[in-house]
């Protein structure tokens, strides 16, 4: 099963590209579901049909779904939120303010992605197309379980045992209620859920496509998205350049636009190579309804097969060399000044600008010493010494990418 995610800046055509791709898949006889993580009901508008919270058939092999994020929110986050509310209540915070404080930013959207995992597991679909919210912020948030895994494996169970043993004393001493077992259960469940979502979305059958329009600001953001999505292990395999002016029959106004777009498209090709760049013309009307969307899909991909699994290496990989082991992390378009690397015990922390990924080292590397790191051809290469027989004592190692 193929999982295709479409993301990009606001208004560039994510929903249209996702819907057009899904329509094309269905026409090729693939059982297809397209769903949106966006709270706006734009898929219903795009297909011009009412859509329910379950898969709604809009054409042969083509199903559309609007995720009921509120229901998801209550099921997954409700108990944790309930506990936080009781703490804030004990601390004397006004209940309305408390309610606002306990709403995790982006939570609804993250939880909508749980639906993607469920649908991926259902075995019903050949192609699952996801219309993501702007800027891919949510996809970055999915790094949370990975970043917390050390805590969840080592500290959380002990903390849970401790709280269970000392709950009455702690509650009296702290003056706020200590979490009950079901709250710990909910935290564990949410952690595991999010980890599974990330596994589906970063798996070998999943690809992210960046949608952009040929405007400098939009392209700059798409470049940053490529770097950060790669940092978190997502496989970006193509770029949709949407709203390209056709050049035929040009008057002065159009000539100028065509020239400006063409200059930016050259920049897009140079930036994103070797990714596929699919160009989609500015159409004379809004592409809505199955027929228009199919035409949109055909003109966007031309002869290319957007459903083929893209060849490619895993975004994080190990390379053995004569003098040790290299850990290679793809970071296309990253610049050296923005990249930083630190080792903390069995993890390395890679920072690119304001984004950070905590990577648990594979077993084989845990006892190795970091010898150095450099950015090489769009990838961060971290050099480790040969595995040592004894654990390495001594202070934590702090390194900068060179």
Ligand X SMILES: Nc1ncnc2c1ncn2[C@@H]1O[C@H](COP(=O)(O)OP(=O)(O)OP(=O)(O)O)[C@@H](O)[C@H]1O
| Residues engaged in binding ligand X (CB under 6 A) | 10-16, 38, 42, 134, 242-243, 280, 282-283, 286-288
Specify the DSSP element, H or E, that contains 167.
Answer: helix 156-174
228 binds Mg ion (CB under 5 A): no
Q: Which of 75, 56, 77 is nearest to 65 (CA)?
A: 56
The item of Mg ion, ligand X, none sharing an interface with residue 243, based on CB under 5 to 8 Å by kind, is: ligand X
User: Based on CB atoms, which residue is closest to ligand X, 102 or 280?
Assistant: 280
Q: Which of 30, 31, 39, 42 binds Mg ion (CB under 5 A)?
A: 42
The item of Mg ion, ligand X, none sharing an interface with residue 124, based on CB under 5 to 8 Å by kind, is: none
- Does residue 219 contact residue 268 with C-beta atoms inside 8 Å? yes
The item of ligand X, Mg ion, none sharing an interface with residue 12, based on CB under 5 to 8 Å by kind, is: ligand X
User: Based on CB atoms, which residue is closest to ligand X, 145 or 238?
Assistant: 238
Measured CA distances, 200 to 119, 269, 290, 331, 392 (Å): 11, 29, 28, 21, 35
User: Based on CB atoms, which residue is closest to Mg ion, 14 or 209?
Assistant: 14
Residues 6+ apart with CB under 8 A from 78: 186
Count Cα atoms within 13 angstroms, Cβ side, for 286: 12
135 binds Mg ion (CB under 5 A): no
Task: Count CB neighbours of 360 within 10 A.
Answer: 16
User: Based on CB atoms, which residue is closest to Mg ion, 15 or 279?
Assistant: 15
Q: Which of 402, 398, 388, 381 is nearest to 343 (CA)?
A: 398
The item of ligand X, Mg ion, none sharing an interface with residue 134, based on CB under 5 to 8 Å by kind, is: ligand X
User: Based on CB atoms, which residue is closest to ligand X, 193 or 292?
Assistant: 292
The item of Mg ion, ligand X, none sharing an interface with residue 11, based on CB under 5 to 8 Å by kind, is: ligand X
Going by their DSSP bridges, the two strands 56-59 and 206-212 should be labelled as unpaired
User: Based on CB atoms, which residue is closest to ligand X, 301 or 384?
Assistant: 301
The item of Mg ion, ligand X, none sharing an interface with residue 332, based on CB under 5 to 8 Å by kind, is: none
Query: What part of residues 1-20 is at the interface with Mg ion (CB under 5 A)?
Result: 14-15
Pairwise CA distance, residues 54 & 56, whole Å: 6
Most distant pair of Cα atoms in the chain: their distance = 81
* Interaction site with Mg ion (CB under 5 A): 14-15, 42
């Amino acid at each position: 099963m193929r999982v295709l995610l479409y993301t990009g800046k606001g208004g560039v055509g994510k929903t249209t590209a996702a819907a057009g791709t899904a329509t094309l898949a269905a026409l090729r006889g693939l059982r297809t579901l397209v769903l949106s993580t966006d709270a706006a009901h734009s898929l219903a508008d795009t297909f011009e049909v009412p859509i329910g919270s379950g898969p709604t058939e809009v054409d042969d092999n083509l199903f559309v779904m609007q995720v009921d994020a509120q229901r998801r929110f209550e099921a997954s986050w409700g108990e944790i939120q309930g506990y936080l509310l009781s703490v804030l209540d004990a601390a004397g915070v006004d209940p309305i303010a408390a309610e606002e404080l306990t709403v995790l930013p982006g939570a609804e959207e993250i939880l909508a992605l749980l639906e993607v995992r469920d649908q991926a597991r259902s075995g019903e679909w050949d192609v699952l197309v996801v219309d993501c919210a702007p800027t891919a912020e949510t996809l970055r948030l999915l790094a949370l379980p990975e970043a917390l895994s050390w805590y969840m494996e080592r500290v959380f169970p002990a903390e849970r045992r401790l709280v269970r043993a000392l709950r009455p004393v702690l509650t009296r001493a702290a003056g706020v209620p200590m979490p009950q077992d079901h709250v710990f259960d909910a935290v564990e469940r949410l952690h595991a859920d999010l980890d599974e979502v990330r596994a589906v979305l970063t798996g070998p059958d999943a690809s992210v496509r960046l949608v952009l329009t040929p405007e400098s600001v939009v392209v700059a953001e798409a470049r940053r998205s490529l770097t950060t999505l790669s940092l978190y292990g997502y496989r970006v395999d193509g770029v949709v350049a949407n709203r390209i002016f056709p050049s035929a029959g040009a008057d002065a106004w159009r000539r100028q636009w065509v020239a400006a777009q063409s200059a930016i498209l050259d920049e897009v090709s140079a930036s994103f190579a070797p990714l596929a760049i699919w160009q989609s013309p500015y159409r004379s009307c809004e592409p809505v309804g199955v027929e228009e969307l199919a035409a949109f899909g055909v003109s966007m991909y031309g002869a290319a097969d957007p459903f083929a699994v893209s060849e490619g290496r895993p975004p994080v990989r190990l390379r053995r060399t004569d003098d040790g082991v290299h850990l290679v992390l793809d970071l296309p378009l990253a610049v050296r000044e923005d990249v930083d690397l630190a080792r903390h015990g069995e993890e390395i922390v890679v920072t690119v600008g304001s984004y950070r990924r905590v990577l648990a080292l594979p077993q084989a590397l845990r006892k190795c010493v970091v010898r150095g790191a450099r950015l090489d051809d769009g990838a961060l290469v971290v050099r480790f010494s040969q595995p040592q027989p004894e654990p390495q004592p001594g202070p934590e190692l702090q390194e900068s990418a060179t």
